[in-house]
Amino acid sequence: MPHTPSLLITIVGFILLLGPLVVIHELGHYWVGRWCGVKAEAFSVGFGRELFGRTDRRGTRWKLSAIPLGGYVQFAGDMDPTSRPDDAKFAHLTPAERAETFNAAPLWQRTLIVAAGPFTNLLFAVLIFAAFNLAFGKIVSPPVVGHFAEQAPAREAGIRVGDRIVAIDGTRVEQFPDIVALVVPYPGRTVSVAIDRGGRQLILSVPLLAHVERDKFGNESRIGRLGISPAQARIAPLGPGEAVTLAGRQTWSIMRMLVVGVQQIVTGERSVKELGGPIKTAKYSGEQLSLGWLSFVSFAAFISINLAFINLLPIPALDGGHLAFYAAEAIRRRPLGARSQNWAFRTGLAFVLALMLFVTLNDLVSLLPMGRG
């Protein structure tokens, strides 16, 4: 029977997960904004009504708000947390005050300020992975087939023990762990596997096994498998530079899998039931916390990458939407009209709220006994 952490552990895990990640994201915006000379009027963890806060000597209101599902930095000259310009307020500012507003900053500075949030989340994940790599080393395992699983589509396709996998769908394989990122996201898909068999090059088509994996908490994930394991493996220690370089590759690999996952949901290759929202995140955070701090911190790195990925989507009201506007401004050499921006932000906000409602309902359904299939 699946083990379920207590409600208290789940709540504590969710707070310990989301709170720091939101602060880290918003601090990215805040510090780059300060570096660019833009005044921050408010730094909020959460949305809605302020629960408590204080104003620092620079005039920034630091506050905790009632709805703990994100946060924002509101810069001078903004109408609201989506950074829509407040033209009425802007018109009454002195020249010195205008110089401190977000919208008076040059395009390259606004781009840096907006991009700083998600990229700080990515940097945070890289630092966690680098610390793990430095502490535990990395798996060194040549991509040579050593064993087959009971269900092994690779064996059925003609791959043999001792074959060296050199590429999958044209992407070169250096180590056995590289195979994971090229196989796991594609359950049921047929991939092209290039192998070296005693100096002879072969290319075989392998239909990946669609395997449903269940953890001790009863969570299911549908993954692709070749049904092979390595001939040998060892743990190699890493220096600081190697640890950071590997952490960067690990972070990029997860980002790539997130992109693939969204593409598969859009094309119908994966079910929308695999989308998760705040309730499922809270559930997972409690589960990982119950497994210990190493599991929880590793999960925090994964969620930090998720937050960066979501915020970089080109949806108005998200950071990626702002960056898309700035790209258009750079091409047109002038910003989009206020009416167009206002319409886009309203549409984007409606889409984000609808998506949040959908994934929350999705979470609730998945937690019901009938939702688990």
Known catalytic residues?
A: 26
Element (H, E) at 137: none
Please state, in angstroms and rounded to a whole number, the distance separating the CA atoms of residues 241 and 103. 39
Please state, in angstroms and rounded to a whole number, the distance separating the CA atoms of residues 293 and 311. 26
Torsion of CA 235, 236, 242, 244, to 10 degrees: 30
What tokens appear for 218 in the block? 């009863």
Write down how long the chain is: 373
Provide the β-strand partners of residue 203: 194
Q: Position 19: which residue type? A: G
Angle in degrees, 0-180, between the axes of helices 7-35 and 107-136, rounded to the nearest 10: 130
As a three-state string, the secondary structure of 184-213 is CCCCCCEEEEEEEECCEEEEEEEECEEEEE
